[in-house]
A and B are shown apart, each in its own frame.
Chain A
Amino acid sequence: MASARQEARESAPADREIMVSRVIDASRELVFEAFTEVRHLSRWWGPEGFTTTTRSFEFREGGVWDFVLHGPDGTDYPEWITWTEIVPPERIVLMHGESRDDPDAFESVLTLEPDAATTRVEMRTVFATRQQRDQAVEKYRAIEAGKQTLNNLAAYVAETLQKGEQG
């Protein structure tokens, strides 16, 4: 199984894939549980300062989590998640979009691997095309709107300084 998984990992083109992982000091069952109910998910979904409002939630294969993500700057983002595969406590596959039948929805595969008393959580997202990946990166970049504003400001300042040096 390990070689098959490795093969899959190698065959996924790097320019269409984004992988994020974390080792958590807890049992796999407990980490898995944090993905299964709104009362858990709402406590950690999104970076610091983000909150969620759930319209509907049904954690099962074919079930949907329909919610709104609230940014720290007050912007709302509609989110629509559908689970396509649930294997407790080791694997969750979900489609992530903005609404039902979102043509730009993308798939994320979450795997939970035990390592002694800890659990390694890995989220691999493979986009259909590189363009779709860039689009998602751009969307999430925009979500962190306050930070973007600051970055634009920094770019402006750097430019001003450069002009000052030349002039």
Chain B
Amino acid sequence: MLLRAGERPVTEVAVELGMSQPRASKHLRVLREVGLVRVRGAGKQRLYGLDARGLRPIHEWTGGFERFWAESFDRLDTYVQDLKRTRQEE
């Protein structure tokens, strides 16, 4: 994706994708609404960038079963560390 390289103003996005600026704005708006793209004002410009928070769950979702258990084992690890500390204090 174009924004992977960094933040860009809508004018650059339009040029790179070979579409009109209103059309590029429309697409960026849709991407913003679903949380994949964020925007921030920098002086007069509005810069568009990837929203990592939106992308992470999509990454985690792939793999179904493995993901479920890998995440459970993350929590198991944390819990066992708590248990270890509690036992050492006793």
Interchain CB contact (< 8 A) of B30 among A121, A143, A144, A160: A160
Per-position contact with A for B1-27: 1 when CB-CB < 8 Å, else 0? 000000000000000011100010011
The interface of chain A, by Cβ under 8 A from chain B, is 18, 20-22, 24-26, 30-31, 33-34, 40, 43-48, 121, 123, 125, 136-141, 143-144, 146-148, 150-151, 153-154, 157, 160-161, 164-165
B residues less than 8 Å from A121 (CB atoms): 73, 76
Interchain CB contact under 8 A, B36 and A144 = no
Per-position contact with A for B60-90: 1 when CB-CB < 8 Å, else 0? 1100111111111111111111011001000
B residues less than 8 Å from A164 (CB atoms): 19, 23, 26-27
The interface of chain B, by Cβ under 8 A from chain A, is 17-19, 23, 26-27, 30-31, 34-36, 54, 57-58, 60-61, 64-81, 83-84, 87
User: Closest Cβ of chain B: how far from A89's Cβ, in Å?
Assistant: 13
Q: How far is the CA of A63 from the CA of B75 in the complex (A)?
A: 24
Interchain CB contact under 8 A, B81 and A26 = yes
Q: How far is the CA of A21 from the CA of B61 in the complex (A)?
A: 18
Q: How far is the CA of A33 from the CA of B65 in the complex (A)?
A: 24
Interchain CB contact under 8 A, A44 and B19 = no
Interchain CB contact (< 8 A) of B67 among A22, A26, A123, A140: A140
B residues less than 8 Å from A47 (CB atoms): 67-68, 71-72, 75
Name the residue of chain A whose CB is nearest to the CB of B30. A157
B residues less than 8 Å from A31 (CB atoms): 76, 80
User: Closest Cβ of chain B: how far from A35's Cβ, in Å?
Assistant: 9
Name the residue of chain B whose CB is nearest to the CB of A138. B64
User: Closest Cβ of chain B: how far from A34's Cβ, in Å?
Assistant: 5
Name the residue of chain A whose CB is nearest to the CB of B28. A161
Name, among A20, A40, A121, A136, the residue most crowded by chain B CB atoms within 10 Å (CB to CB).
A20
Q: How far is the CA of A10 from the CA of B35 in the complex (A)?
A: 43
B residues less than 8 Å from A30 (CB atoms): 80, 83-84, 87
With known contacts A30-B83, A137-B64, A146-B57, A22–B77 Cβ distance under 8 A: yes
Interchain CB contact under 8 A, B34 and A157 = yes
